[in-house]
């Protein structure tokens, strides 16, 4: 059984909706135990417990909101760093605008995880025409289209696949061995 924590902060509900979709996607993989918790609900025991984490927060002024950062900074006194090495992580974020810093925020969330010794990833998949989550799932407002919703879910699914493959040693869970479409038929990559 792989343990996955979806840990999020949400101010207006948009990132919370992303978190639910991420958790839903993680639930697609067998033998995964899930916790979906806001930073108000989660504590250091949840972090120790998990094998993989999906970390989500709104983008405020281009980066991580203070509440989420405080959650991590407060761990200094818990004497757990650097004993969390080898967990697997990814990130997601909603902002008020496309171009509002979601990718930058996701990468900074990834940096926090890397600092704790996590291995971090994004997804190669396109979950709709012109929609991906290469460095984390990014969203303007709340997820609306099927492709946007699936970007969140696929991120959670991928996290569960990596946890199952690498931590639970179920090599059959590797995403390259699955039959679902990672690049949909209607996908025509727009090159820029």
Give whichever of 3 and 60 is closer to a second copy, judged by the CB atom: 60
Q: Which two tokens stand for residue 115?
A: 């600092």
Site for a second copy in 37-56 (CB under 8 A): none
Contacts of a second copy in 52-91 (CB under 8 A): 58-67, 69-70, 72-73, 76, 81-83, 85-86, 88
Alpha carbon separation from 66 to 62, 147, 178 (Å, rounded): 12, 30, 39
**Minimum CB distance to a second copy, residue 42 (Å):** 16
Q: Which residues 7-36 are close enough to bind a second copy by CB under 8 A?
A: 10-12, 14-15
Structure-block tokens of residue 177: 């061995």
Contact 118/53 with Cβ under 8 angstroms? yes
Closest distance between a second copy and the C-beta of residue 152, in Å?
11
What part of residues 150-169 is at the interface with a second copy (CB under 8 A)? 151, 162, 165-167, 169
Q: Which stretch, 21-29, 31-39, 43-51, 96-104, contacts a second copy (CB under 8 A)? A: 96-104
User: Which of 46, 74, 56 has the alpha carbon at shortest distance from 16?
Assistant: 56
Quote the Cα angle for 166-169-170, to 5°.
110
Q: Is residue 103 near a second copy by the rule CB under 8 A?
A: yes
């Amino acid at each position: 059984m792989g343990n996955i924590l979806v840990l999020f902060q949400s101010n207006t509900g948009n990132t919370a909706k992303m978190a639910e979709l991420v958790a839903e996607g993680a639930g697609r993989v067998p033998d995964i135990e899930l916790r979906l918790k806001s930073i108000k609900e989660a504590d250091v025991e949840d972090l120790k417990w998990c094998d993989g984490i999906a970390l989500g927060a709104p983008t405020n002024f281009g980066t991580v909101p203070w509440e989420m950062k405080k959650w991590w900074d407060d761990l200094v006194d818990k004497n757990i760093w650097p004993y969390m090495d080898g967990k697997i992580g990814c990130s997601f974020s909603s902002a008020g605008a496309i171009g509002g810093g979601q990718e930058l925020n996701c990468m900074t969330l990834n940096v926090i995880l890397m600092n704790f010794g996590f291995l971090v990833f994004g997804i190669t998949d396109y979950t709709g025409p012109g929609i991906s989550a290469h460095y984390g799932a990014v969203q303007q407002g709340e997820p609306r289209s099927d492709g946007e919703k699936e970007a969140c879910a696929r991120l959670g699914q991928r996290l569960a696949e990596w946890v199952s493959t690498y931590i639970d040693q179920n090599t059959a869970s590797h995403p390259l061995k699955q039959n679902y479409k990672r690049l949909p038929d209607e996908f025509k990559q727009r090159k820029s």
